[in-house]
A and B are shown apart, each in its own frame.
Chain A
Amino acid sequence: MDDMTEAMVRSAVFAAGLSPSEEEIASLVEGYADYRAGIDSLYAVAETRYASPALTFSATPVFADWSE
């Protein structure tokens, strides 16, 4: 693992308030390159240039109780 990747992973997980063990950090660092490469491939999809995300929002709040 390179130092920069390890520093970035440590920073990200601790910033999120998580407290992984050294072994768990090592595992996250080990998998990070593949994870980041996968995320970078998302930005390479040319058709997303003018696409809106598959997220929805309604101005009408939902108050319905699921148990009723």
Chain B
Amino acid sequence: MAIDDLQQGTLLPLTVTDAAERLRVGELTSVALTSALIARADALDPMTGTYVTRFDDHALAQAAQADADFAGGIDKGPFQGIPIGIKDILAVAEGRTTANSLILDPEWGAGREGPVVRRLKEAGAVITGKLTTSEFAIGSPDSSKPFATPRNPWNLDRSPGGSSAGTGNGVAAGLIMAGIGTDTGGSIRIPAAWNGVTGLMPTFGRVPKSGCVPLGYSLDHIGPLARSARDCAAMLNIIAGYHPSDESCADRPVDDYVGALTGDLSGVRIGIERTNHFPESSDPALRGSFDAAVAVLAELGADIVEVTLPLYNEVTTALWVMMSAEALAYHHNDLGGRWADYYALTRANVSRGALASGADYVQAARVRRVAQQQLAELFSGVDLIVAPTSATGAISHEAMLGRRLGNFFKTVFTGYWDAVGNPALVVPMGFTDDGLPLSLQLGARPFEEGLALRAGDAFQNLTDWHLRLPSLLTESAAG
């Protein structure tokens, strides 16, 4: 297949799984695919603000190597020759890490990379560049700083969410096939939801987080964003697993997440959580989209029951208290000396850590422990818990700038799962009346990512929400 076919959209939407098959039967080369995505980035990135740094030459060299490996009979798995991006708070040897900030020492991580990036390279992935993040994964765009404002490809006047903004909008706009994000309060799942793609926050400790600038030490997760649950499963197969450099990393076997995708949910007990997920400010289309998604899960064989997450508000508060405190500890000295160099929202969110005591921090950790125990009891009766990811579609840039974390988590339902440590997958489930993606969140027991991915994949076998494309991409491809 020629590069022109990709640029003109004849293969859109293209999942990693689709591309991997085409690479193996000779219908596509990695160089052609990578070149097409580079050309698309030339056209769209000035609007989407996806990249902080691009590695075009390195990427094309990696792609050529992947093609040579295919020709030589070397197959490193489904990400061989697949162009992906890395959120710019993980070190990648080809370029500096900025965390979208003036603050981070340019020497941090220089020429180095942690286990996640290294595993992806060893699997043959083509790293196209470093992707925009909210500053240190907690700020918001700030026009006074020399970084692009990321925008939502479904509506450029809307936020792509954060903090893994570039990974979410890059997958949605077709600039990358998949990418790496991080999640401390929802930073994989919010941009996945608002950009209409799929994202997985693995169990805390399932994926080593070393080689990544920390936000909240007890809360940080690294995970995949891609168009489909199957693509996320394939990426998790690569990045999951113990590494001694992360003291919270779990030393236990890694499941075969792709092998778990049976397409069937017979006998799976799914708890539906409405109590904490439909505030008055919910989008009018949310309830209908959610009910339709639940009906699809039932059609797939799942047994549906109603549940209520224990200690929902308290757990969300605990997250907020601990994240701000842990972030303040990391940034304390820089904030003291370089206050004005930080983004305004970073300053606001992190300085809140000074308003809680050490005892408050420990009490928040005790609430997390109790909530884990009560949630485990709830999971004795169900296998998955399903709810909307966000009460609305993507909000405006102005609303993102003005948000307070406490209020934000009243309409974005991700933080609970970070605080308890369980995995959570989000998949597109419909659209608002004004064309913005809505999203379904599936929480699972610790280390049962495979079941969440199985349900997400089965759902995507019967729906095509994850394959819908923003007009920004389709018009670009057609033009």
Contact = CB atoms under 8 A, between A and B. Distances in A.
Nearest to A29: B355
A58 to B, nearest CB: 7
Interface in B246-296: 246-248
Contacts of A31: 352, 404, 406
A57 to B, nearest CB: 9
B368 interface: yes
Interface in A13-64: 13, 15-20, 24, 27-28, 31-32, 34-36, 38-39, 41-43, 45, 47-48, 51-56, 58, 62, 64
B351 A28 contact: yes
Contacts of B366: 42, 45, 48, 51-54
A15 B335 CA distance: 13
B100 to A, nearest CB: 20
Given A42-B317, A51-B366, A65-B245, A35 B352 contact: yes
Interface string B59-87: 00000000000000000000000000000
A10 to B, nearest CB: 11
Contact of A42 (B347, B367, B406): B367
Chain B interface SS verdict (over half): helix
B115 A66 contact: yes
A43 B354 CA distance: 19
Nearest to A27: B348
Interface string B295-339: 000000000000000010110011011000000100011011001
Name the residue in B246, B317, B332, B372 with the highest tally of chain A Cβ atoms < 10 Å from its Cβ.
B317
B218 to A, nearest CB: 7
Nearest to B311: A45
Interface residues of A, number: 38
Contact of B210 (A53, A58, A66): A66
A32 B370 contact: no
Contacts of A28: 348, 351-352, 355
B463 interface: no
Contact count band on B: 35 or more
A18 B339 contact: yes
Interface stretch (B26-34, B357-365, B443-451): B357-365
B218 A34 contact: no
B369 A51 contact: yes
A58 B335 CA distance: 30
Interface in B190-225: 208, 210-211, 218
A34 B96 CA distance: 39
B336 A18 contact: yes
Contacts of A12: 354-355
B410 to A, nearest CB: 11
Contacts of A53: 362-363, 365-366, 368-369
Contacts of B365: 53-55
A64 B355 contact: no
A45 B364 CA distance: 10
B91 interface: yes
A54 B208 CA distance: 19
Given A41-B313, A48-B370, A62 B244 contact: yes
A8 to B, nearest CB: 8
B354 A13 contact: yes
Contacts of B370: 45, 47-48, 51
A13 to B, nearest CB: 5
A52 B348 contact: no
Given A55-B218, A64-B243, A64-B244, A42 B351 contact: no
B9 to A, nearest CB: 39
B121 interface: no
Interface of B: 91, 112-115, 118, 208, 210-211, 218, 243-248, 311, 313-314, 317-318, 320-321, 328, 332-333, 335-336, 339, 344, 347-348, 351-356, 360, 362-370, 372-374, 404, 406
Given A18-B351, A48-B366, A66-B211, 7 more contacts: A13-B355, A15-B354, A45-B311, A45-B367, A47-B374, A53-B363, A56-B248
Closest 6 CB pairs of A and B: A53-B365, A66-B210, A67-B112, A17-B336, A66-B245, A64-B244
26 contacts: A12-B354, A16-B332, A16-B353, A17-B335, A18-B347, A18-B354, A19-B336, A19-B339, A20-B351, A24-B344, A28-B351, A38-B321, A39-B321, A39-B364, A41-B313, A42-B321, A45-B314, A45-B366, A48-B363, A51-B366, A51-B369, A53-B362, A53-B365, A54-B218, A56-B248, A62-B244
